Every structure is written in structure tokens, then in C-alpha cells.
């Protein structure tokens, strides 16, 4: 995502675009998949762990990232939504049990859920676990099955 697009995205979420925030957002955007704090720390060596965590907290509080708990860790994904009340950027995620990566399945929407009377849903998370295509191919080529 280009810097001007990131700045526009920040504006839609009322986040001031500082240099560190742009670095973290650019890293999330270029990863193409949700990332854990540890993965971000490894890629962004110019910002300390607490700075990255504070930025992710600010992003979360302003709905600029989706927070995904995939069973292994908490992961963060840049949110492309324009509306905090109706997040049109929700989609299914896939967590690979072999490589422990979580992937966005942008083309698969989270199915609607009818809640009982009195419940008010705010967000939904839908994670499928299994083996990703890369790990499946490795297992087949090495003669193993999974």
C-alpha cells in the first residue's frame, strides 16, 4: 500500500500518521497476512517492542487493525474498512497447524449469525485450522501424509 493510501486510511480511522505508525502499518500491509507482535518485532528493528505494542493498541482502539486470536498467538491485520460501525472488511482466516501462519481468505465472507434476543454482536472471528497449500505440498513431496 502506498504511503498516501496509508495516510488516507489513517484519516478514516482518526489516527495521526507518525513515522513509526506508518512503518508498522506498511509492514502489516506488505505482509499480506495477519502478523504477531513477535513477527513485527523481527521485521521492524527500528522500533522497540513497547513502541510496536503501543501502536498496535492505538490501531486496535481506532479500528485500524483486526485482532485475530488463532490458537497460537494474537495476530494483527490492517483493516481496510471505512466504517467503524459496519466493518465490511471481515473475512475468514485460515491457520496452518504445520507452519503456524495465519492467512486471510478475503474472498470468503464470515457467514451471518443470528443472535438470541438481547445479544448485540460487535465483531466476529472465523478461523479454519488445518494445513496450508505450501505445507501440504511439502508433506506430499517428502512422502509424508498429514
Which DSSP letter does residue 109 get?
A: P
Give the residue numbers spanning the domain of 131: 3-141
pLDDT of the residue at 4? 93
Q: Is residue 73 part of a domain?
A: yes
Q: What confidence category does residue 72 fall into, taking pLDDT thresholds of 50, 70 and 90?
A: confident
Q: Is residue 146 part of a domain?
A: no
Q: Is residue 38 part of a domain?
A: yes
Q: Label residue 144 exposed, middle or buried (CB < 10 Å: 0-12, 13-18, 19+).
A: exposed
Residue 116 CB coordination number (10 Å): 5
Query: pLDDT tens, 113-139?
Result: 899 999 988 777 788 899 999 999 888
Reported as type and span, the H/E element at residue 94 is strand 92-96
How many structural domains does the chain have? 1
Question: Rounded mean pLDDT of 100-109?
Answer: 85
**What CATH number is associated with residue 72?**
1.10.10.10
Q: Residue 51 pLDDT > 90, yes or no?
A: yes
pLDDT of the residue at 50? 96
Taking every pair of Cα atoms in the chain, the longest distance, rounded to a whole number of angstroms, is: 53
pLDDT of the residue at 81? 61
For residue 126, the SS3 value is coil
Burial track 2-24 (b if 16+ CB lie within 10 A, e otherwise): eeeebeebbebbebeeeebbebb
Q: Is residue 128 part of a domain?
A: yes
Amino acid at each position: 500500500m502506498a504511503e498516501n493510501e496509508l495516510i488516507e486510511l489513517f484519516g478514516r480511522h482518526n489516527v495521526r500518521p507518525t513515522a513509526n505508525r506508518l512503518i508498522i502499518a506498511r509492514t502489516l500491509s506488505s505482509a499480506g497476512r495477519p502478523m504477531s507482535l513477535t513477527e513485527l518485532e523481527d521485521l521492524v528493528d527500528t522500533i522497540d517492542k513497547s513502541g510496536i505494542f503501543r501502536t498496535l493498541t492505538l490501531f486496535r482502539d481506532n479500528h485500524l487493525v483486526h485482532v485475530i486470536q488463532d490458537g497460537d498467538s494474537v495476530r494483527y491485520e490492517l483493516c481496510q474498512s471505512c466504517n467503524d460501525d459496519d466493518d465490511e472488511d471481515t473475512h475468514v482466516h485460515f491457520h496452518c497447524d504445520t507452519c503456524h501462519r495465519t492467512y486471510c481468505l478475503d474472498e470468503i465472507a464470515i457467514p451471518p449469525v443470528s443472535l438470541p434476543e438481547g445479544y448485540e454482536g460487535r465483531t466476529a472471528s472465523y478461523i479454519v485450522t488445518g494445513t496450508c497449500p505450501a505445507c501440504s505440498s511439502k508433506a506430499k513431496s517428502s512422502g509424508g501424509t498429514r
